[in-house]
């Protein structure tokens, strides 16, 4: 049986398409359907590594988890990772096929359309329903002939379209009407309903606008979904990062974590578990003055280590980071951030930089970085080595899950200075080491993403920071919802906000 399909498109980027697809996947699973998510092409620097080492968009991985599935690259067959300017790395079915300067080659696009069609067909053969997500807006008229993710996929799947708009940004009625006006007649007929997203207030006040919208377009409103506060689910959109900038500094009785906002920052969603901890303020910063008094400074992952390192030097941040290390204030580098903290970065094959073959790192870790053509993408299980500023607060027998996505290899000059011992890689037993420690344990670098998802490590790091600041651990921890609980909360809110009977008719259930 070929699966039924439904597609969520948006009037613009960052209107909440990803979370709506997540909610619909959860709802359909709760109702007993075998459901899978799909997004033909995703442009994001927040990536997920599948159990077999494939790379895909983080949002589709969360959607798969909502559907009760192990994420598969067929759910996001094409991932585009910007590298600065017009350059981007192209990942097809989980593996990089190279970097391009302009992603509009017609021959390649024809091949990618075939990949999209084959991935969608495989999913439709295996599941009852496929919930498809679009990208940006379907009416970018300058890109219409190159579309492989919006109405092209809706036609391919013969999918009814739910058009979502974000009322919190303003102008949602104009956005709905304008989108409908710019759609080709055949594509306009595919729009089965509107969803008004992120509404704050009394829904009855919207009724005149909703009535106008239906009268003007002939398309019904499926529902009005409220803004959902403190939802602990990864968000791939760049706008979600902008919202995190310039948060208030921490009070004296709070811990402040300053994450350096690199221009090509990647996988920044891994810091969300810290954001939900009581008494912790996570700030994304880009000025040297903002890291001076922070309790922990994090250099995060980067899609282009060499380019972001050059930006870092221009910002004046290295001087402030060096000053911290001299007084023993903690600094943590993750993946690209770890590479920047090493003595030297070599790129002999110009994997990352077309101009440079080497650059000096910040010199705070006894290690070097060398870029290779082969990309490492793996899920790992590791345990602490007993080194670094958090060593005495994280149990040595803790099994920590995480993932690696990098092309730069860390070559430690101190064989005994590793931070973690790797026990498993992609489900297979392994014995290797990860990371490096410098400045008497104040500076720690690791190539493993996702470590703060581990309760024991997160609690240990915060305990070490509180002790250093002279404040006590909270007497009672606020219960942090699990991902399953958050997925259920999202589904419940959306279920209560839409016309379920109409939705069932649209999908053909």
Active site residue 335: yes
The two three-digit tokens of residue 249, written as one number: 């500094």
Which one from 335, 338, 406, 439 is the annotated catalytic residue? 335
d(CA 164, CA 186): 19
Active site residue 406: no
* Closest-CA residue to 37 (of 15, 53, 59, 13): 59
Which one from 25, 152, 338, 449 is the annotated catalytic residue? 449
d(CA 283, CA 258): 5
Distances (CA, A) of 404 to 321, 345, 397, 455, 471: 25, 18, 21, 19, 34
The two three-digit tokens of residue 316, written as one number: 């004046």
Q: How many other CB atoms are found less than 10 A from the CB of residue 464?
A: 20
Query: 226 burial class (0-12, 13-18, 19+ CB within 10 angstroms)?
Result: middle
d(CA 6, CA 229): 27
Distances (CA, A) of 128 to 20, 77, 157, 161, 285: 19, 20, 13, 18, 45
Helix 172-182 to helix 207-217 angle (10° resolution) is 10
User: DSSP label at 102?
Assistant: -
Extended strands (E) in 66-172: 78-84, 87-92, 95-100, 129-133, 161-166
d(CA 443, CA 436): 8
- For 325, half-sphere exposure in the C-beta direction (CA atoms, 13 angstrom radius) is 23
Query: 170 burial class (0-12, 13-18, 19+ CB within 10 angstroms)?
Result: exposed
The two three-digit tokens of residue 1, written as one number: 């049986």
| Catalytic residue positions, numbered | 335, 449
């Amino acid at each position: 049986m070929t699966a039924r399909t439904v597609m969520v498109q948006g009037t613009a980027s960052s209107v909440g398409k990803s979370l709506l697809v997540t909610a619909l996947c959860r709802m359909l699973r709760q109702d007993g359907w075998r459901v899978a998510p799909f997004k033909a092409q995703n442009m994001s620097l927040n990536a997920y590594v599948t159990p077999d080492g494939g790379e895909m968009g983080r949002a589709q991985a969360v959607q798969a988890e909502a559907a009760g599935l192990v994420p598969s690259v067929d759910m996001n067959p094409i991932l585009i990772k910007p590298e600065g300017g017009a350059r981007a790395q192209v990942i097809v079915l989980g593996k990089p096929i190279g970097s391009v300067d302009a992603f509009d080659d017609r021959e390649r696009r024809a091949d990618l359309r075939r990949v999209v069609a084959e991935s969608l067909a495989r999913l439709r053969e295996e599941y009852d329903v496929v919930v498809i997500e679009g990208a940006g807006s379907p009416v970018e008229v300058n890109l219409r002939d190159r579309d492989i993710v919006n109405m092209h996929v809706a036609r391919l799947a013969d999918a009814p379209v739910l058009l979502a708009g974000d009322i919190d940004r303003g102008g949602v009625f104009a956005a709905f009407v304008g989108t409908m006006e710019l759609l080709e007649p055949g594509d306009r007929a595919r729009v089965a309903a509107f969803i008004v997203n992120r509404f704050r207030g009394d829904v009855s006040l919207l009724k005149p606008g909703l009535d106008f919208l239906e009268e003007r377009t002939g398309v019904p409103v499926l529902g009005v979904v409220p803004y959902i506060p403190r939802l602990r689910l990864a968000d791939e959109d760049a706008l979600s990062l902008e919202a995190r900038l310039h948060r208030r500094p921490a009070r004296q009785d709070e811990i402040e974590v300053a994450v350096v906002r690199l221009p090509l920052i990647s996988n920044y969603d891994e810091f969300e578990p810290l954001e939900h901890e009581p008494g912790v303020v996570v700030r994304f910063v880009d000025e040297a003055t903002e890291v001076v008094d922070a309790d922990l400074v994090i250099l995060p992952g980067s899609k282009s280590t060499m380019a972001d390192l050059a930006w870092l030097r221009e910002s004046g941040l290295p001087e402030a980071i060096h000053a911290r290390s001299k007084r023993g204030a903690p600094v943590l580098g993750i993946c690209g951030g770890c590479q920047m903290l090493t003595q030297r970065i070599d790129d002999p094959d110009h994997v990352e930089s077309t101009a440079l073959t080497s650059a000096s790192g910040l010199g705070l870790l006894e290690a070097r970085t060398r870029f290779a053509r082969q990309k490492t993408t793996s899920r790992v299980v590791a345990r602490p080595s007993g080194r670094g500023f958090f060593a005495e607060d994280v149990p040595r027998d803790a099994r920590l899950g995480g993932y690696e996505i990098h092309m730069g290899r860390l070559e430690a000059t101190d064989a005994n200075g590793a931070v973690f011992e790797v026990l498993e890689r992609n489900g297979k037993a392994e014995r290797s080491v990860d990371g490096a420690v410098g400045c008497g344990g104040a500076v720690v670098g690791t190539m493993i993403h996702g470590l703060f998802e581990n309760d024991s490590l997160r609690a240990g790091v915060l305990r070490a920071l509180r002790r250093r600041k002279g404040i006590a651990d909270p007497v009672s921890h606020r219960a942090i919802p699990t991902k399953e609980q958050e997925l259920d909360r999202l589904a419940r809110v959306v279920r209560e906000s839409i016309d379920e009977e109409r939705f069932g008719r649209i999908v053909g259930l």
